[in-house]
Structure 1
């Protein structure tokens, strides 16, 4: 056998092998929000592909609450033996220590970054009873109706909370933040009219638009979304300062073996490159955006610098 063929076979074996130290037990993916939402679906799609490619059972374990703190704390405390992955996000891995006091974990110290999976675009949505068709009209209506606007989020410090507070502080609006244990229950409250506004990760929103109870004023991201071609981007709407999207990732507990990080990162890269998997994720409003361990670490470092600058420049604070 030629040395080139031997190397190719070895690489294939690495991609298909179950992560080390975890072959005899289920691989646990801890998620930060309630079951039934888009992030839960993301974890289950990835978990099913891990099982299909390696034969290893995967269990998705939801630990909602406290804006993701409970899940991150559980992940940080897990044994670093290759049996646990943590679904993290821009809020839990980047902004939380800058905006919230006393979070029970250190995102830089307590986790081993493995892969960025996807980027999620957001919809600036209002209940149909709100008489606004554009973002500018919503700001004008909210300013004229102080104290009447409730907005939701999947928990304190999540991107929906941050966007809402940036708007409140930047536009001098009196809006009340109401945190939930995930995006799905907050979205249900928007549909029911108990929330007037929600900057929502769009995965769970799209099927509800046919009911007519929710109106989308704008979307985040550099381009209009194919599912909402008539809806402008936040940049087109004239408010680029509120144009933010979320990312979701998988990490292990700190001190997990480097071999586990490398093998799992390679496996996740293979999964995210599958056309069928990519299409299933896009239906949930997730754009596959894989970064392996080294590139993901560099991305996190750059994001922390970027958000420190935004917070210093805007004076952004979070009350709850």
Structure 2
């Protein structure tokens, strides 16, 4: 088991290199705009890496194109341990199944290192929508074709997928509007320019006090302590839309296996820290660490699961 002394003895995540080279900071490339919860996740992890190893960590947001810009930048980086990529279920699992001509191959271009957290989702509407349940929302949206705009943090993200599953499965005419991250989409929901958003709940909770947003249901196996009166999607009778996101760190594909394992061990130590767990739970993330081998197995299983869902539902994404 990696000890604190061993971690501190290696001031970077790199193999033995000249001291000057080891001064290069670690880049954590993220796919969404600064200020959101994924940005906070990356910064929490980066701060702990710096505290434990002495290596500076810089969060580098590359929002846009549904995460493609970030993933492409990560895939083309040198595999020397100086670049990690914050990936998700959309970028590492569903994108090649649902979107044409993405500029990377998630199975070929990355070395999975660790799954970090799972994020539950809230089925949220603007307060002007006269629906108090998911069923009522479907009825209202069906009765008002073309009147519902829904947002996402980009094409192919889970919010987009859930919205399209609802549109196609319930014969709803809803318009998808992609943004460069969850934070700007949430601002549009609060302003009433979006009527519906299946949103990662981390950024939503502080906004509920304003009264401009109403949560109809949450994803996950149990009700959330922060929203005890809100039913789960399963309780609401719509288990087919019960999906949650994961966030992870990977390296470029050619990253040496020994470095992958060492980085995974460091991340496992960080994710086991009570202080880290508390900070992540405050962001509505559920810590769900998997090291390199277990994470690779999880990805393989999740890809099979989503292929079956897409084949069964006939889901397609146009934008």
Report the TM-score, using the length of structure 2 for normalisation: 0.96
Q: Offset at 1:12?
A: 4.2
Per mean C-alpha deviation after superposition, the further-off stretch among 23-32 and 193-202 is 23-32
Kept in 2: contact 1:114–1:261 (CA 8 A): yes
Quick check: 1:45 aligned with 2:44? yes
Partner of 1:232: 231
Deviations 1:60-100 (A, max 9, x none): 00000000000000000101111000000000000000000
SS in 2 for 1:72: helix
SS in 2 for 1:19: coil
Kept in 2: contact 1:15–1:263 (CA 8 A): no
Spell out the pairing of 1:171-320 with structure 2 (5 A cutoff): 171-320=170-319
Q: Which runs of 5+ in 2 are unaligned?
A: 16-20
Spell out the pairing of 1:44-63 with structure 2 (5 A cutoff): 44-63=43-62
In 2, distance between residues paired with 1:281 and 1:122? 15
Partner of 2:103: 104
Deviations 1:31-63 (A, max 9, x none): 000000000000000000000111110000000
Spell out the pairing of 1:109-124 with structure 2 (5 A cutoff): 109-124=108-123
In 1, distance between residues paired with 2:198 and 2:225? 19
SS in 2 for 1:203: helix
Q: Offset at 1:25?
A: 0.9
Deviations 1:237-273 (A, max 9, x none): 0000000000000000011111210111001001111
Spell out the pairing of 1:23-172 with structure 2 (5 A cutoff): 23-172=22-171
Q: Offset at 1:131?
A: 0.3
In 1, distance between residues paired with 2:137 and 2:80? 50
Q: Offset at 1:24?
A: 2.5
Q: Offset at 1:11?
A: 4.3
SS in 2 for 1:33: coil
In 2, distance between residues paired with 1:253 and 1:315? 32
In 2, distance between residues paired with 1:81 and 1:272? 23
SS in 2 for 1:48: helix
Q: Which runs of 5+ in 1 are unaligned?
A: 1-7
Partner of 1:3: none
In 2, distance between residues paired with 1:153 and 1:256? 32
In 2, distance between residues paired with 1:285 and 1:83? 29
RMSD value over aligned CA atoms? 1.0
Partner of 1:19: 13
SS in 2 for 1:316: coil
Report the TM-score, using the length of structure 1 for normalisation: 0.96
Deviations 1:133-159 (A, max 9, x none): 000000000000000000000000000
Deviations 1:207-261 (A, max 9, x none): 0000000000000000100100000000000000000000000000011111210
Distance 1:11 1:276, change over 3 A: closer
Partner of 1:5: none
SS in 1 for 2:22: coil
In 2, distance between residues paired with 1:110 and 1:213? 42
In 2, distance between residues paired with 1:61 and 1:124? 29
Per mean C-alpha deviation after superposition, the further-off stretch among 142-151 and 250-259 is 250-259
